[in-house]
Structure 1
Amino acid sequence: MSRSAWRSVRLAVGAAVLGAVLWRTGTGPFVGGLRSLDLWTLALGAALAVPVTIACAWRWHLVARELGVGVDMGPAVASCYRAQFLNTTLPGGIVGDVHRGVRHGRDAGDAGRGLRAVVWERLAGQVVQVAIAIVVLLLLPSPVRSSVPAMLGVLAAGFVAAALVVRQVPLTGRISSVSRMLRAVRDDVRSSLLVRRVWPGVVLATTVAVAFHLSTYFVAARAVGVTTSPLKLLPLALLVLLAAGLPLNIAGWGPREGMAAWSFGAAGLGADQGVATAVAYGVIVLVANLPGAVVLVVASGRRGDVRSVEPSPSGQPHVAEGDRAHG
């Protein structure tokens, strides 16, 4: 499937899910979610987004350093804000991260490594988030609790199969393009994610980000009038966040509202409340990411807002000459 065709499929799926939710609930929950927001709620959401962005920037900093395209924390935070803003305003939900990876790769002198660093840090974050969700869904009552063991078995089987395939890739000799790609994947994972000075930080950073995302979702739920206990709301919020991470949306809209409608309805809280909460959460996140628009405007007139950090012969970080002017 071509890139344009895949993009069309993603948008079509997001539009279909959003249309189904509108058909099921009407516009009332959407309007209710918007009306529930006030300045205090939006300000609180913006404050909660700060540690999320810093944690994601630190995760990127750790992974990119091991791939040889290191990024300083200050520029990394600014770039993450910009990426989050683009993700929440453009179709697909991943445009901002692609832009972040390509731009940093070009500034660092290796576009491929720059993009791969973002891919691996995002993928690692998703893996940790799924692991957190599985633990919570196993321990707390939810509409999917009985299905979690089966899903866990499928995930484990897929992981084992992938590991076996990658392990069989030859280290030397003539190799096909597929083998070459698999070997690059294996080498990247080993060098950027599985080293001792990286993976604990990736787990910690992702856990912090998930915790503050959940806090934001709880704020949205309270704003629309959801009064259920946090323990009952926690697994539902994790399901919604997992759905929101799927690249099958329209500027963040679609699967998030669909999962909220289904999970809240299945939990006895009402699909309307689920949709209203998801809408409120989406608007809170959009407003919280507005600093990214400022970064985008400021950076549009200059290049190199993400500085590459290269190891010098003495082992100390060295900023590439082409980026000194932008430091």
Structure 2
Amino acid sequence: MSDGVVPGGRRTAWAWARPAGGAGILGVLVWQLGTVPFLEGVRAISVWSLLAATAITALATVCSAWRWQVVARGLGVGMSLREAVAAYYTSQFLNSALPGGVLGDVHRGVQHGRDAGDVGRGLRAVAWERAAGQTVQVVLLVVVLCAMASPVRPVMVWVLAAVAGTVALGLLLVVRSRPRGAASRRARVLRAARADVRHGLLDPRAWPVVAGTSVVVAAGHTGTFLVAAWTTGTHASPAQLWPLAMLILFAMVLPVSIGGWGPREGVAAWVFGAAGLGAAQGVAAATAYGVLGLVATLPGAVLLVTDRVRRGRLRAAPVAVGTG
């Protein structure tokens, strides 16, 4: 009995720890800077900034959906681009509105898997698509931080050394832990992963789309942050803001947030302060970005309701026919 209770308890504790971590970061920022930066970030939002963020988000969403469509097709659970765009808008809205920042992706994977008749492949397609996008984002981040001035540029040599050592250690562990039995569960998982990568990511018809769309998506999110920064009164050039924005947005992947809130504002306060732009200004810009991002994904809320109504009617249709 204890074997079944402990893992469940750990999962429950982690489920509470993730939003608690984000709330803790926000609490520290309020304690140190007050509520004014957060309020200023909301008050500064204008019509033009909303229009710009919505347009940029639309482009990034179409590119993300295209990337997902290509990966899913390689895994044998393809869909139309229109379906992919609608589902991606919905997942982005759920990611922004719900704690954790990943529940929308889970919903997207499960729903598409059910529609395609294979929930496992549906979830794997989402996982590989998101992993590919974040990998490209990391590569771009490293290149930008090495090439452009930022508070972390002096330590980038040590960061690259640490990353290289970690990757080498990981590869070594994978090689040494290669399963001996061809029928073992680990062997099946590794074979499935290799097949997914080969067909979903590295196929000649897939990888150019995956790489190209990932670059556009990363640039789009960074551009939206620049809009938020300028909207809140940051007087800095794109060259000065670009590496800061990429570093701040990368913090959103940390698994301790409330719909993306928390680490983003914490890192924004740090890098803006270190760059001489002011920690409060960084929090205001990050707050504006969060609000702009939520508003720009509101079409996903409409699509979610519409999809629920449509599916409800489809489920009720056979019953209505039978009773008539």
TM-score by length of 1: 0.88
1:160-213 per-position Cα deviation (integer Å, ceiling 9, x unaligned): 3333444563486342x4444334323322332122221221111011011111
Question: In the alignment, what sits opposite 2:45?
Answer: 37
Question: In the alignment, what sits opposite 1:287?
Answer: 295
1:200-236 per-position Cα deviation (integer Å, ceiling 9, x unaligned): 2111101101111111111111111101111111110
1:204 counterpart = 2:218: no
How far residue 154 of structure 1 moved from its aligned partner, in angstroms, is 2.4
Distance 1:5 1:197 in 2: 43
SS of the aligned residue for 2:309 comes to coil
Question: In the alignment, what sits opposite 1:12?
Answer: 20
- Answer whether contact 1:11 1:249 (CA < 8 A) is retained: yes
How far residue 150 of structure 1 moved from its aligned partner, in angstroms, is 2.0
Question: In the alignment, what sits opposite 1:296?
Answer: 304
Question: In the alignment, what sits opposite 1:236?
Answer: 244
How far residue 289 of structure 1 moved from its aligned partner, in angstroms, is 0.3
Question: In the alignment, what sits opposite 2:262?
Answer: 254
- How much identity, in percent, do the aligned residues show? 52
Question: In the alignment, what sits opposite 1:155?
Answer: 163
SS of the aligned residue for 1:252 comes to coil
SS of the aligned residue for 1:300 comes to helix
How far residue 253 of structure 1 moved from its aligned partner, in angstroms, is 0.8
CA gap of 1:197–1:154, structure 2 versus 1, over 3 A, is farther
- Answer whether contact 1:224 1:277 (CA < 8 A) is retained: yes
Unaligned runs of 5+ in 2: 1-6, 313-324
Distance 1:277 1:215 in 2: 12
2:275 pairs with one of 263, 267, 277 = 267
Distance 1:118 1:156 in 2: 27
TM-score by length of 2: 0.89
Unaligned runs of 5+ in 1: 305-327
Question: In the alignment, what sits opposite 2:73?
Answer: 65
CA gap of 1:184–1:98, structure 2 versus 1, over 3 A, is same
Q: How many residues align?
A: 303
Distance 1:6 1:125 in 2: 25
Question: In the alignment, what sits opposite 2:107?
Answer: 99
Quick check: 242-251 or 59-68, which moved more?
242-251
CA gap of 1:191–1:281, structure 2 versus 1, over 3 A, is same
How far residue 57 of structure 1 moved from its aligned partner, in angstroms, is 0.2
- Answer whether contact 1:88 1:251 (CA < 8 A) is retained: yes
1:187 pairs with one of 192, 195, 199 = 195
CA gap of 1:89–1:133, structure 2 versus 1, over 3 A, is same
SS of the aligned residue for 1:93 comes to coil
CA gap of 1:197–1:212, structure 2 versus 1, over 3 A, is same
CA gap of 1:243–1:137, structure 2 versus 1, over 3 A, is same
1:93-113 per-position Cα deviation (integer Å, ceiling 9, x unaligned): 000001000110111011011
Distance 2:247 2:71 in 1: 27
1:173 counterpart = 2:182: yes
Distance 2:216 2:107 in 1: 24
Distance 1:247 1:68 in 2: 30
